[in-house]
Structure 1
Amino acid sequence: MAVTDEAILKIKEMILSGELKPGDRLEPEKELSERLGLSRSSLREAVKALEIVRVLDVRRGDGTYVTSLEPDLLLEAMSFVVDLHSDQSVLEIFAVRRILEPATSALAAQNADPADLARLRELLEGVDAASELDALIEHDLEFHRGIASMAGNAYLTSLLESMSGRTVRARIWRGITQENATDRTIAEHDAILSALEAGDQDLARAVTLTHIAGIEAWLRAAAL
């Protein structure tokens, strides 16, 4: 069992046993992680996942609370997952991305100037596996947007941008359910950027294809 899954299970057991009731505030992260025998990072990821499915409510500067657990609230969250797993248009979008983005990276390798590459490198170095999920999602969107911009084709940039918003749910769900998804994404982005910095069009095309195809394969498996 992945450590994040274990953390989710332990919090769920606390709720089912009545130790945590609707409206209750969780202990501070340090104390709760020690009591449950979990790392703070795995507890943090579990809280993110349970926040998305409306079991927990994270109030910045206040604490983390159990929600009302009312059926309507939980059904709203369940629709998030059901929509992701049943909406074939997301799979079709990733299939289009798999066709377009390798070619986009090849164009970017040919056309990017040093300032563009420096900005993209700064963006990449600004995130790591410890970053908040929303920051990682924003990084992912901005990274691919930056490559599209460097390709030098306004129509292609607009086309890829129009698809980005439709894939945010998939990016969120992958970030909290696929083990090491964040580390893998950062490493693959680094490989793409290194190819761009080298001006190697063939390598940029290949590593981008690997990156997009890997996400598409995960999404197809998750949708089964």
Structure 2
Amino acid sequence: MSRTQGVVEDIQRLILDGGLRPGDRLPAEKELAVELGVSRGSLREGVRALVVLGILEARHGDGTYVTDLNPATLLTPLQFVADVPGDRTELQAVRRMLETEAAGLAALRMTDPQIARARAALDDTTRTLVDAAPDPQALVRADLTFHRAVADGSGNSVLAALIDGLAGTHARRRAWEELHDVAGERVAAEHEAILAAVTARDPDRARLRMATHLLGVEDLLAGRAVRAAVGAR
């Protein structure tokens, strides 16, 4: 184990053991280096790594603090995993399970403002799709907003953070670039069906609609990949 990794684990342990709490300021660099038995250089590297992970926050001229340890912040690195090129089958399966359950919970818990946010996202999708050359970025924004509204509507912040981490912004953009011409209206209709089930407060139907939607997108992307591979031969 490198000294930097040791610093990361030691500070994480301090937080987990209650020695440092959310919002606490870290001790002075010299003091903390002595406490952990490391050089100040190794301490700085470890602290920088924890800042990237969202566990610590460096405030210019005011020291370094433990963040609020919000799951949405701590799970942000998942977004990179979701966008890494390659076989996404297993990742998509996990996302489908999470979003299906979130839809069921949303049917029981989603608030009126969250429903309004999802409705606005659907309206944005519809307006964009009628353009002669739909903007993939606009479609991605609307798609993300819709799925985030449903995830937030689950009332479970950890579940919502996991779904957001697996959203894969770049992967979604590639999907919309490939599919909007052949499946844009279908996806929009499936979103409408999901929201209808949620607003009807029907959790079983909401789960079914979300699972069907995500399976359909997976099948479309898989079919496009196969056709591309055959065409490249």
Give the TM interval when normalised to the shorter protein. 0.5 to 0.7
Q: Match for residue 108 of structure 2? A: 110
Q: Match for residue 17 of structure 1? A: none
Is 1:148 paired with 2:146?
A: no
Is the 8 Å Cα contact of residues 104 and 147 (structure 1) preserved in structure 2?
Answer: yes
Give the structure with higher Rg (CA): 2
- The whole-number CA distance in structure 2 between the counterparts of 1:148 and 1:182 is 22
Is the 8 Å Cα contact of residues 125 and 143 (structure 2) preserved in structure 1?
Answer: no
TM-score, normalised to structure 2, is 0.54
- The whole-number CA distance in structure 1 between the counterparts of 2:164 and 2:110 is 18
Instruction: Find the partner of 1:164 among 133, 143, 167.
Output: 167
Matched ranges for 1:71-90 at <5 A:
84=85, 87-88=86-87, 90=88
Is the 8 Å Cα contact of residues 127 and 136 (structure 1) preserved in structure 2?
Answer: yes
Q: Match for residue 174 of structure 1? A: 175
Q: Which runs of 5+ in 1 are unaligned?
A: 1-82
Give the superposition deviation at 1:107. 0.1
Q: 1:223 to 1:126 in 2, by over 3 A?
A: closer
Is the 8 Å Cα contact of residues 174 and 181 (structure 1) preserved in structure 2?
Answer: no
- The whole-number CA distance in structure 2 between the counterparts of 1:213 and 1:105 is 15
Q: Which letter does structure 1 place at the counterpart of 2:96?
A: R
- The alignment partner of 1:164 has SS state of coil
Is the 8 Å Cα contact of residues 99 and 210 (structure 2) preserved in structure 1?
Answer: yes
Give the superposition deviation at 1:215. 1.1
Is 1:191 paired with 2:193?
A: yes
Is 1:125 paired with 2:123?
A: yes
Q: Which letter does structure 1 place at the counterpart of 2:118?
A: L
Is the 8 Å Cα contact of residues 170 and 219 (structure 1) preserved in structure 2?
Answer: no
- The whole-number CA distance in structure 2 between the counterparts of 1:132 and 1:221 is 23
* Deviation readout 1:16-75 (Å, 9 max, x if unpaired): xxxxxxxxxxxxxxxxxxxxxxxxxxxxxxxxxxxxxxxxxxxxxxxxxxxxxxxxxxxx
- The whole-number CA distance in structure 1 between the counterparts of 2:91 and 2:216 is 14
- The whole-number CA distance in structure 1 between the counterparts of 2:124 and 2:143 is 12
Q: Match for residue 21 of structure 2? A: none
Q: Which letter does structure 1 place at the counterpart of 2:206?
A: A
Is the 8 Å Cα contact of residues 91 and 220 (structure 1) preserved in structure 2?
Answer: no
Q: Which runs of 5+ in 2 are unaligned?
A: 1-83, 227-233
**% identical aligned pairs:** 36
Give the superposition deviation at 1:92. 1.7
- Count of residue correspondences: 137
Instruction: Find the partner of 1:136 among 104, 125, 139.
Output: 139
Q: Match for residue 208 of structure 1? A: 210
Q: Which letter does structure 2 place at the counterpart of 1:123?
A: A
Is the 8 Å Cα contact of residues 192 and 208 (structure 1) preserved in structure 2?
Answer: yes
Q: CA RMSD in A?
A: 1.8
- The alignment partner of 2:166 has SS state of helix
Q: 1:120 to 1:188 in 2, by over 3 A?
A: same
- The whole-number CA distance in structure 1 between the counterparts of 2:146 and 2:195 is 9
